[in-house]
Each structure stands twice: as C-alpha cells, then as structure tokens.
Chain A
C-alpha cells in the first residue's frame, strides 16, 4: 500500500467490527442461533391445535351416570364421574373447569374468575337443559374460519422480530462499545485523527449489514414453518425494520456513551429494555394496559416498531399507513445518534 492508496476509515472501521464479530463464535450464535431457537420453542408452544375440550366432572351419586351421558353427547366435552373429594381436588388443580352435582335442580360448582370455568358452565348447562327436555327456539347456522393473521403465532412473530431488533441493537452496540472503552481502545483511537462520527457510524453500518441477514432469515422461517402472512409491501416492511434497527442502534450508542464498565452498561440496557418488553406488546397486546398509560406506551420505540411490523404483516398496511411509526423511529434514531456523538466519553 502506498501513500496515495489511503483506505477509507469508515470502511476499515466497519470491516473491523464485522471481522471481530464473525471471528467470535459465541456472538454469532447469540445473534443468529438464539432467536431462531426462541421462535421454534414459542412456535411449538403456540402451534395451531384443535379447540380445547370442555372438561367437566360429575359428582358420584344418584343420577350421575345419566348426567355424564348427557354431557358426553355434546361436541368437544370431556365429562367423567368422580367421588366428591376427587371432584373438588380436580376443580382446585384445574384438571376440570366445572363440577356438576346431580340433583333437582343440579348444582354447578366453579370459580367464576376463570374464563374456561364460565365457558364450561354455559356449555354444560346447555346440554343439561336440553337433556331435561328444553326445546331451542332458533337454529342458528355457523361458519368456521381459521385465517392466518388472526392466530396467536401471527401476533407473536412481528413482536419477536421487534424484540430481536431491540436486543441486537442495544447489546450488540452498547455492550461492545463499553468493552472497547474499558480496554482503553477508545482512548487509543481518540489519540488518532480518526473522525469521531466515523467510529459511531461504523456501528450503525454493522447493524444494517446484519439486518439484511437476520430479518429475511427470521421471516422466511416464520412464513415456511408457521404460515405467518406478510400481506403488505416488502418495501414497507423493510423500511419499518430498518428504522427500528437504527433507533435501537442509536439508543445502544446512547446508553454506552458514558458508561465506564460493562456492569454499568448492562444495568442501563436492562433499564431501557425492560419496560418495553412488558409494555410494547411483544407477547400480548399493549391494549391490555389502562387507557391512561396508552399515550406513554405509544411513544415507546418498541411499540412503534411492533405496531408497524404487525400493520404491514397482518393487516397489509402500505408505506403511507406506517408513516407515523416510521417517523417516530427515525426521530429516535437521529436524536440518540446526535446525543451520543455529543456526550461520548473517549477516555
């Protein structure tokens, strides 16, 4: 190499990041293997199954067998006769949802705070009333649907993708920078004329590179294994995912900008990520939280990312429809990068 062939510092810094990453087998696993395993585990846990049967117990006694037969005639009802002691134990432990004590009239024993118990009572009551001679006034028709997009796994996959983009940005950048600082490598770099901006940008470029691998792999897996839909345009999906990754890379830079050791930065990362894990609708909808909290929840970047991903994948939203989420994520990215550059501690 001669004097006039000066390599680009930004390219060299990014190459150094990528080489460091790929030459460390454990980080490769945590970045690519772990999310895949998590998806498989959750996919197995939440795979589509036939509807849960209604589980009911009939307390042994006179008329018990007739009641059991009446219940067993219903579709998707699992009924058995148990001794009073056994029946109570089964109810307490959740093996049955309702206990029916034969008599005139019969007695339903249940815990009304359990939704499946209320369902079981309604189903059992219907069957018992019909067996006792009730005639239905209407004969409604039924249309059954099982459309991708409405299942739990369809809700879960965008949430997991969002969560993964968040952890990869925060840990992959925040932790690495603080480690470089504690090893005095940042100080060594600061003693050179390297442009500070190039150094921080190299981390964003590294994330963009991994994004182009991680997201297609993860989505392809979810589409093939679980039939998860991607209804909206891929361009909208790519935009939301990229801005999300940049937002969390920026936040990763920000949490790392002053911390002197990796314990401090681990604490900070958890502090930032924990509320979003809970509030931003990864595993369950953020609509479950009270209305008073909703404005704050809407302002969290992971909420914007998850909502944007779900809108594109499940509802077929286009670029215009996800503009608010994209704007919020872009603003978080730009602001956190600027703040990190301003307050970065090199020594």
Chain B
C-alpha cells in the first residue's frame, strides 16, 4: 500500500434540511503528488477540502490526513498542514512581513519570513499594508502564510480564481516549486488548463461525488480521445450512426445545432467527414478541431460545461 497523504472513504456532508454537499466521496492522494480536485462551482470541492483541513465535521465517512484522524491531537496535525481558504481577507492594516511573522509564530517549526517572502516573490512589498496589494499579490501572500509552517501537505482552494493571467502563472511557478521540494499539494480549481499543467493526478467532482480520476492525460485519452472535431451544417439532417461509422471516430455527441466528434486520428477522420457531407450535399456552416482537454472530459461525463 502506498504512503498516503490523504485518504477518505464514503465521505458525506449534509446541511439540514436538504442540502447534500458531499455525497459519498472517495479520495486517495499519495505523498509527493500534486493532486487536483476539479469540478464546477457547488460540486462540493470546498466542503471536501475543509473537512480534510479539520475545519468542518463530516456527517459520516472516514478521513485520514497524513495517516492521522482529526479527533485526536488536532494541533499536532495542524503543525504539518498549510492552508489557503477560497477567500481570506488578511488583516488589512498589517504589512506583509507582519502578517507572515504572526503566522510564523503559530508553528513550532517552519521557514523564515525572508524565505517565504522570496518564495512567493513579494520582496519589494514587505512593508506594504495588505490592503494595498493587488489581487494576485494578496493571493501570493495567502500562499506564503500557508508555507511559513513548512507544511508536508498543502491545501490550496481555488488559488488562482479571479486572477489575471500573469498572476496565475506566478502562482503556478510557486506551486510547481513546492512539488519539486517533495511536498504534497491538493488544489481545487475549475480551470482545466491549470490542472493539466500542475497536477500529476486529478479527480473530477460533480454533485458531491468523484465521477472520474487519473492523470490528466489518461483521463482525456480514456474518456474523450485525442482530438475533438466540432462542426455545424446549414441544413442538419445527419444521423449519429453515420457519423459513428466514420474512420477514427470514437464518440459522437450532439452539441447545440451541430455535433462534436471525438477522434484519435484527426487527419483520417476530417477528410472522411468532408467527403460524407459532400455526398449528401450538406453545406458546412462551421468546423473546428482542438486537442481534447479535461473540459471535454467533464462535458462527456456530465453533458454540461464546467462554467455553466
């Protein structure tokens, strides 16, 4: 059995009277992994993470974090974890280094303030009040607060939501650096590109359950295929069975007025599709192809888009 950083079984969180935020969720995260919990808003990602962080009590289910359970000596466990919440307002009238010194004081062992300031690239903001930081800088400070106890396991809840592309890339570098240092990272996101870029493995969560998990590449290949061809015809009238019979086509899905085909060899399937349309005299109104992504996995599994 591998050395697990997080293990949870049949996790349920119910908010009376009738909200079921987490509905029997299973998760295993190995040490040293960067693991992504993906899903739309309201899928139960944050609730799951807050249970793992020991901030919420589950209604039922088993939770083990770093081989320990939350019901005994919780503070010892907290020494080994780093957390960023989905939204934290840090004390507004404190400077970056004052906030970090405060958080550093909570941990018996940890990294120095200088070190974490450098790790998140806030050296020239050390003496700025947190309320004067940009969104991306605030988020990096929140991550720095999570790093200052030198955690074995780091929870990052939507670390880049609402940030501009440059701030996102800066945070990605910080996270990639952590996994290089052998730390375990659990991040939640609804950006599939972020997960593909950072995570060794991901679990896709929908309506409180894990509906698929694996490495991003495996998931895309097994659920969708390699490429997605989307097209629309002016007059419609195509049968799904005809499309499915085209060479190289793995799946066919109606999408709005047209179709989305998932294919493994785009150079074989597209010419065959065009031939077929021409023989029927169907005029093409739109055609595009893209490499399959986790977004396509989510659509294929749920029939919904992630940010709907």
Residues of A in contact with B (beta carbons under 8 Å apart):
1-3, 6-9, 11-13, 15-16, 19-20, 23-24, 183-185, 187-195, 346-347
Contacts and interface: CB of A to CB of B under 8 A. Distances in A.
A346 B101 CA distance: 21
B54 interface: yes
Interface stretch (B2-10, B81-89, B158-166, B285-293): B81-89
Interface residues of B, number: 37
Contact of A7 (B81, B93, B94, B104): B104
Contact of B114 (A1, A7, A192): A1
A20 B91 contact: yes
B105 A7 contact: yes
Report whether over half of chain A's contact residues are helix, strand or loop; otherwise say mixed.
loop
B90 to A, nearest CB: 7
Given A1-B101, A1-B104, A6-B105, A192 B93 contact: no
Interface in B37-71: 50, 53-56
B112 interface: yes
25 contacts: A1-B101, A6-B104, A6-B105, A8-B105, A9-B105, A9-B106, A12-B101, A12-B102, A12-B105, A16-B98, A19-B93, A19-B94, A23-B93, A24-B93, A188-B90, A189-B106, A191-B83, A192-B78, A192-B83, A192-B103, A192-B106, A193-B149, A195-B75, A346-B55, A347-B56
B79 A193 contact: yes
Nearest to B78: A193
B14 to A, nearest CB: 17
Contacts of A9: 105-106
B113 A1 contact: yes
B55 A193 contact: no
A20 B95 CA distance: 10
B191 interface: no
B211 to A, nearest CB: 28
Contacts of B104: 1, 6-7
Contacts of A11: 105
A8 B106 CA distance: 8
B70 to A, nearest CB: 12
Nearest first, the 3 closest Cβ-Cβ pairs linking A and B are A23-B93, A183-B89, A191-B83
Contacts of B112: 1-3
B214 interface: no
Contacts of B109: 3
A191 B102 contact: no
Contacts of B98: 15-16, 19
Most B C-beta atoms less than 10 A away, residue of A183, A192, A347: A192
B87 A184 contact: yes
Nearest to A182: B89
Contacts of A16: 91, 94, 98, 102
Given A9-B106, A185-B91, 9 more contacts: A1-B101, A1-B112, A6-B105, A15-B98, A16-B91, A183-B89, A192-B106, A193-B107, A347-B56
Most B C-beta atoms less than 10 A away, residue of A23, A24, A184, A191: A191
A191 B54 contact: yes
B106 A188 contact: no
Nearest to A4: B109
B83 A3 contact: no
A193 B146 CA distance: 12
A7 B103 CA distance: 10
Nearest to A183: B89
B53 A191 contact: yes
A3 B104 CA distance: 10
A188 B85 contact: yes
A9 B54 CA distance: 21
Contacts of B279: none
A188 B148 CA distance: 14
B94 A191 contact: no
B89 to A, nearest CB: 4
A298 to B, nearest CB: 41
A184 B105 contact: no
Interface string B244-259: 0000000000000000
A184 B88 contact: yes
B231 interface: no
B110 interface: yes
Contacts of B129: 23
A192 B107 contact: yes
Most A C-beta atoms less than 10 A away, residue of B53, B89, B98, B102: B102
B108 interface: yes
